[in-house]
Structure 1
Amino acid sequence: MKRVIVTGSAGLIGSEAARHYDGLGWQVVGVDNNMRRTFFGGDGDTTWQRELLERDCRAYRHAAIDIRDRAAVDALVAEIRPEAVIHCAAQPSHDLAARIPFDDFEVNALGTLNLLEATRRNAPEASFVFMSTNKVYGDGPNRVALTENDSRYDFDDPAYANGIDESFGIDQSKHSLFGASKVAADVMVQEYGRYFGMRTVCFRGGCLTGAGHSGAQLHGYLSYIFKAAAEDRPYTVFGYKGKQVRDQIHSRDVIGAFDAFLAAPRAGAVYNLGGGKANSVSILETIARIRDLTGHELAWTLDETNRVGDHIVYYTDLARFRRDYPEWRLTMSLDAIFEEFARVAFSSRSAA
């Protein structure tokens, strides 16, 4: 039986990975100590997801360890000796990072180093999949020429007609402390591939989404905005007139990319991973889609203060990953993603 360690296993991508590899007959060891609740309060609590994994998965084992604990991480990897490590655990909010800089850096950078070194020492042939972020590019994408339309901003430079690719610089830009800690982790993952020859990949994610997300105001915007709409919570849009744009990729399509890499791993690989231009949407467009899908008018206000280091427009150029792994496809369109959220978020209202 193949073995995989999944960190952040009760989070969106981690839980999707745990279910997927359990379904393939792998032994799955999930590492998650529910720090998302510590970061984001009740909205971020992932206990429900852990309980579902333990109930539904045949060969799932949970390890509630802190990835900052070097000895515990090393001992776990030495015991399991996995064929793959899928590292999704993180402090994911660039706003929160400024208030908890040591926790942010220790979770994102030091925790990643602990996992890399434990893997090198105990399972050097394992593939190491790291869920990085597009925030490694800082606010550099904001320097691309933009055009403003009624409901969104968009790139106005033919060089970026398909989005941001991996050649875009990560230096000389404002990242937020979260972005900086993820840069440190991203570069370290690359280095363990390039220096030690390990099979590592950094997936620089756009907006990762799906109904398994424990969305909170500071992280997981699409999940949280549907939650706000369904529960009649007031929603605050921060900056850029609500015309800021993100591309959305469903968690199942992220796992498809993991599968493709694990089938043909490389050393020190880096890929941007998102929904691409076709799956891009602004906040104003999101609010309109929710109204059209559900008939519900979200109560929202605009805070004109732009978030520090925030992207005005970001969507992913997927050309490099599609070139190296041509069998991979996006299976969830933007319409399908919104329909899933509407069905799940508004199910209790329909029942009532």
Structure 2
Amino acid sequence: MSDNDPRHEAPSLIGKAAPIVITGGSGFIGSNLADDLLGSGEEVVILDNLSRPGVAQNLEWLKEKHGARVHALLADVRDFSAIEPAFADAKAVFHLAGQTAVTTSLGEPFLDFDVNARGTLNVLEAARRSIHRAPVIFASTNKVYGALDDLKLIEVEDRYVPAAGDIRQNGIGEDRGLDFCTPYGCSKGAADQYVLDYAKSFGVPTAVLRMSCVYGPRQFGNEDQGWVAHFLIRALEGQPITIYGNGKQVRDVLHVRDAVAAYRTLLQSIESVSGQAFNLGGGPANAVSLRRVLAEIAKLIRSECDVEHAEWRPGDQAYFVADTRALQHRLGWKPTVSWRAGLRDLAVWLHDYRGLGAALGDRERISA
């Protein structure tokens, strides 16, 4: 390994300003979070194996924008000896690295478990052994609540709505029982519970954010993960979009700027919320069906989307909208970007940075 190998960078931070470690820091949410932290003057260690297509571009963007305060450690969370040095002097850890697709978990359950469950345990142990006993904030998923097959829904013209008025008004809360399904739900759910238990068993400050659908700039969405960006990319390319099911599935979508704000707010309050899990999503105000998103994309590109249909996939939820009142009441966080404005923001970024589609009439971006 040469002296210029990026795997040497993270340990060199020991003795300097304590950095913040972001696992999966070259990914979609990770790179946006890193950019925000770096813009605040923080030193950031980007721990990533760069396995996801496109994320190497995010790392280069961060380096070009922020220079020497970006410290890249090219390593895999499954390799404890390789990642441990990055945590030695860390003051905080955002654990975003993971296997993110249900479909992949069904085809490769060992891989899914190793990355999501064992990889998380490695991160927790590295943080526990660090000089500052660094707090860990973990990116979990709403899939820990299962497929929600027991949720009574009413089918209307373009979406499903819950029969229960309280869920229709507020969404699914953290008091919903855990019900892991699919290997992905099991591996992320196990990681979710390990993170919470490290606060109880070892006194490591930890917290969990169970995320709904986050979207926005720097997302390289595909059919299995990042569906909002995937839909928009396919539409801008003039390619068909496959809908699994009837398209009336409802999700609460959240712009990445609001997600970053939630992660940073949680870290600021980690001592008071350690050992707790919070739902993170756009909430009822940003609850949209796949059909409604496609209709809005058609307006943006001034052309109908080419849509194909296929059978429902295992573990797909017909409805999930996060009740985020706990996060709002405890930490004062709330989503600020409406889903229509956020979709336009992503479309402008895809045009400007990836050359997709024609320029939109309204050029205003939400975030810099």
On whether the aligned pair clears a TM of 0.5, the verdict is yes
Quote the residue 1:201 is aligned against.
Answer: 207
Quote the residue 2:230 is aligned against.
Answer: 224
Question: CA distance change for structure 1 residues 69 and 152 in 2, over 3 Å: closer, same or farther?
Answer: same
> Which runs of no fewer than 5 residues in structure 1 stay unpaired?
38-44
Residue 264 of structure 2 is aligned to residue 286 of structure 1: no
Query: Which residue among 100, 106, 122 is the counterpart of 2:130?
Result: 122
CA distance in 2, matches of 1:72, 1:222: 34
User: TM-score, normalised to structure 1's length?
Assistant: 0.92
What RMSD, in angstroms, separates the aligned Cα atoms of the two structures? Answer: 1.5
Quote the residue 2:7 is aligned against.
Answer: none
Residue 146 of structure 2 is aligned to residue 143 of structure 1: no
Identity percentage over the alignment?
Answer: 35
Quote the residue 1:275 is aligned against.
Answer: 282
Quote the residue 2:261 is aligned against.
Answer: 256
Question: CA distance change for structure 1 residues 351 and 203 in 2, over 3 Å: closer, same or farther?
Answer: closer
Aligned-pair distance for 1:339? 1.1
The number of residues matched between the two structures is 337
CA distance in 2, matches of 1:191, 1:236: 39
Quote the residue 2:12 is aligned against.
Answer: none
The one-letter code matched in structure 2 to 1:338 is L
Aligned residues of 1:29 and 1:63 also touching (Cα < 8 A)? yes
Aligned residues of 1:142 and 1:313 also touching (Cα < 8 A)? no
CA distance in 2, matches of 1:157, 1:346: 41
CA distance in 1, matches of 2:33, 2:291: 31
CA distance in 2, matches of 1:342, 1:46: 18
Residue 83 of structure 2 is aligned to residue 73 of structure 1: yes
Residue 339 of structure 2 is aligned to residue 319 of structure 1: no
Quote the residue 2:34 is aligned against.
Answer: 18
Question: CA distance change for structure 1 residues 123 and 149 in 2, over 3 Å: closer, same or farther?
Answer: farther
The one-letter code matched in structure 2 to 1:15 is S
Quote the residue 1:86 is aligned against.
Answer: 94
Residues 89-168 of structure 1 aligned to structure 2 (within 5 Å): 89-123=97-131, 125-139=133-147, 141-161=148-168, 162-168=170-176
Aligned-pair distance for 1:294? 2.1
Residue 50 of structure 2 is aligned to residue 31 of structure 1: no
Aligned residues of 2:28 and 2:55 also touching (Cα < 8 A)? no
Quote the residue 1:52 is aligned against.
Answer: 61
> Which runs of no fewer than 5 residues in structure 2 stay unpaired?
1-16, 361-368
Deviations 1:29-67 (A, max 9, x none): 001112223xxxxxxx31211110111113101111011
Aligned residues of 2:216 and 2:343 also touching (Cα < 8 A)? no
Aligned-pair distance for 1:90? 0.7
Deviations 1:281-333 (A, max 9, x none): 11111111111222121111111x1110110000110111111102x231211
The one-letter code matched in structure 2 to 1:127 is P
Quote the residue 2:363 is aligned against.
Answer: none
Aligned-pair distance for 1:159? 3.2
User: TM-score, normalised to structure 2's length?
Assistant: 0.88
Quote the residue 1:42 is aligned against.
Answer: none
Aligned residues of 1:151 and 1:243 also touching (Cα < 8 A)? yes
Aligned-pair distance for 1:257? 1.1
Aligned residues of 1:124 and 1:198 also touching (Cα < 8 A)? no
